[in-house]
Chain A
Amino acid sequence: MTPPLLQARALSKHYPVGRGAMLHAVDAVDLAIAPGECVGLVGESGCGKSTLVRLLARLIDPTSGSVLLEGQDIAAVSQAKFVTTPQRSRIQVVFQDPSESLNPAFRVFQSIADPLKRLLGLRDKAKLAMLVHRAADLVGLPRELIERYPHQLSGGQRARVGIARAIAVEPSLLILDEPTSALDVSVQAVILRLLADLRTRLGMSYLFVSHDLNVVRLLCSRIVVMYVGRVVEAAPTETLFTAPRHPYTRALIAAIPDPARRGETRPRLDGSPSSPVDPDPNTCRFYGRCLRGADRCATEMPALRPFGEAHLAACHFA
């Protein structure tokens, strides 16, 4: 097996929420991404997806655990120090809403050039222009738009700028945080095809975060499911959809609207997730909402167990 490009080991992020209480946003997460692999990350809002993304991209410091980039622990240095290291440019993020994540006062050229200047220290104008144009060409952004401001662009064009500035520094890992959720389906289709194409051409790894399982399955070969700060299941895409092991994954898949299953009554997951504030370390986080819940679930936290090739699930009854 190829050594992972990026690996998280027992990665946790806890936030103090007053009176000594801690919110466990991300709790002891293990995750590995192989070179060239596309991993999907799914789960409901508030499950810690975005915190995990920020930890892996080293935008925030973990409470405990490590993040290994090609075997080297990048979580050992503080976030403030990390930005000055050459590794900074190897992990890039495409943020959720391109309308809000682009600087409105920057022309497209400046937006794409900024990471090149800051992370690679490029000062040479001709070289900079060459790299900006190359990134714009790669994402199919017409040259005549390069001097425009974000408000003069359509949603799809803004999404392309967001991708262009992330890939300009040639990262090894591109983290995509809901890259198409603000777009119409017709534009989403273009962006998804572009992302698939870029990955084969540039050989990057992707961590694709989305709440839309039908979108995740298009690009990813493996999917990781999170629930209240923990990974509850990880499996190759086909396996996850055809033979999910964790009851939460099953509920998630059953909730995807599907015209082919019209009128069919499916078990629904009601209620809301348990609180991530000082959760009981010996109780399964899904206990109380789970259709299967037994006494053992309240007294013993299920650990991730292997089920065949590359399939992990954290449930006593999986």
Chain B
Amino acid sequence: MTAQLLIEDLSLVFRTRHGMVRALEDVSLSVERGEIVGVVGESGSGKSVMAYAVMGLQDPASQVLGGRIMFGGLDMLRASEAALAEMRGRELAMIFQSPRTALNPIRKVGRQIADILRQHTTSRRGDLRKHAIDALARVRIPDPARRCEAYPFELSGGMCQRVMIAMALACSPSLLIADEPTTGLDVTTQAVIMDLIREMSRDARMSTLLITHDLGLAGEYCDRIAVMHAGHVVEVAPIEELLSRPAHPYTRQLLAATPTSRSTVEELVSIPGQLPDLRRELPACRFSERCERHVGTCDERPLPWTKLSPTHMVRCRVPL
């Protein structure tokens, strides 16, 4: 099986006034066709930076030091801007964190969807509106013909998020990147939106990279999870395995800190320390300073991947 998306040893830094921020280091991850892969970690772990890198949306202050991102046979980091523009919106779509700021506030939502269709499909001008209505109907927006004429401010947060998803899915992309798609939404709306994303993945064999800080959410919807900490992917595993047998000490602590329907406040464990400052020289394992299992060899470079099973990888010298 060939991966839809393949990220290999990606390293990326930001040049800032206060020095170089090592945002991503040797990040590797793959997403198969029709698969939902979750990327979890605390804020500042590099989840969004990775997502933006895949989209080819790079901050002018960022610089890729090495690695590759392969998507549908295209080397995303070396492709021309024209090739990327052609890909984005059609094959590769993204749902941003806050729909209200990502949508154009002074353009009707139907028009915004039509813009994408005009750019990437052969739809005739006269059909654009109809296709935009279809796109809204697909994400089960009630009364789509009327909503087409609405401006973002006239819609609720959940409705705006559905419009964003409708835009993202309008051209049936083969990869969807969802960056915290339900943050700020109510649990009831979150459930409807996530069901919708899962349904699209199953029915249209769309691959999804779901970026979230909510392990419970990732646990319910993802097939596989990549755990990120301070710019490193530290563990990748199928969801059941990750939840029942976490191998990286950070993963175990993240799970212990997440309230579930069964936990008590006494059982909640906090993770000691904070994310390291990515501007300074860092040890091989960026978790070592917070880790209770730290041994002398942890700081030796390079930090190897340990293969616990064909699908369960952990980047730790002393896995659980």
Residues of A in contact with B (beta carbons under 8 Å apart): 44-45, 154, 184-190, 192-193, 196, 211-215, 217-219, 241, 251-252, 254-262, 266, 268-272
Contact = CB atoms under 8 A, between A and B. Distances in A.
Contact of A218 (B221, B268, B269): B268
A10 to B, nearest CB: 27
B121 interface: no
B190 interface: yes
Given A262-B220, A272-B158, A255 B187 contact: yes
Given A45-B157, A45-B186, A189-B270, A268 B195 contact: yes
A154 B260 CA distance: 25
A270 B192 contact: yes
Given A193-B268, A256-B261, A251 B253 contact: no
30 contacts: A44-B189, A45-B157, A185-B254, A185-B258, A186-B270, A186-B271, A190-B270, A193-B266, A193-B268, A212-B259, A214-B216, A214-B260, A214-B263, A217-B259, A218-B259, A218-B263, A257-B190, A257-B216, A257-B219, A257-B220, A257-B221, A259-B219, A259-B239, A266-B191, A268-B191, A268-B192, A269-B188, A270-B192, A272-B156, A272-B158
B219 to A, nearest CB: 3
Nearest to A195: B265
A185 B213 contact: yes
B37 interface: no
A186 B159 contact: no
B187 A256 contact: yes
A251 B188 contact: yes
Q: Which of B217, B253, B265 counts the most chain A CB atoms within 10 A?
A: B265
Contact of B265 (A185, A196, A256): A196
A186 B221 CA distance: 22
Q: Which interface residue of B159, B214, B221, B268 has the most chain A CB atoms within 10 A?
A: B268
B142 interface: yes
A151 to B, nearest CB: 14
Contact of A270 (B140, B263, B264): B140
B270 A187 contact: yes
B159 A272 contact: yes
A258 B265 contact: no
Nearest to B243: A259
Given A193-B265, A256-B261, A213 B274 contact: no
Given A218-B264, A257-B219, A211 B186 contact: yes
Contacts of A190: 270
Contacts of A154: 274
A185 B257 contact: yes
A255 B265 contact: no
Nearest to B263: A218
A49 to B, nearest CB: 11
Interface string B181-210: 000001111111011000000000000000
B257 A186 contact: yes
Interface string B236-253: 000100010000000001
A218 B257 CA distance: 12
A184 B43 contact: yes
Given A252-B187, A257-B221, A268-B191, A186 B254 contact: yes
Interface residues of B, number: 44
Nearest to B219: A259
A267 to B, nearest CB: 10
Given A185-B254, A186-B254, A218-B259, A213 B265 contact: no
Contact of B269 (A184, A189, A254, A256): A189
B142 A271 contact: yes
A190 B265 CA distance: 10
Nearest to A154: B274
Given A189-B269, A262-B219, A214 B191 contact: no
Contact of A214 (B213, B220, B257, B259): B259
B134 interface: no
The 6 closest A-B pairs by CB, nearest first: A259-B219, A44-B186, A186-B271, A255-B191, A190-B270, A189-B270
Given A192-B259, A218-B259, A262-B219, 16 more contacts: A44-B187, A154-B274, A186-B42, A189-B257, A189-B271, A190-B270, A218-B265, A219-B265, A254-B191, A255-B190, A257-B214, A257-B216, A257-B220, A258-B219, A268-B191, A272-B159
B215 interface: yes
Contacts of A257: 187, 190-191, 194, 214, 216-217, 219-221
Contacts of B258: 185
Contacts of B42: 184-186
Contacts of A192: 259, 265, 268
Contacts of A185: 42, 213, 215, 254, 257-258
A297 B172 CA distance: 41
Given A211-B186, A214-B259, A256-B216, A189 B191 contact: no
Contacts of A260: 261
Contacts of B269: 189
A215 B259 CA distance: 6
Given A218-B259, A268-B195, A270-B140, A186 B187 contact: no
A45 B195 CA distance: 20
B139 to A, nearest CB: 11
A260 B195 CA distance: 16
Interface in B137-192: 140, 142, 156-159, 186-192
Contacts of B186: 44-45, 211
Contacts of A188: 257, 259
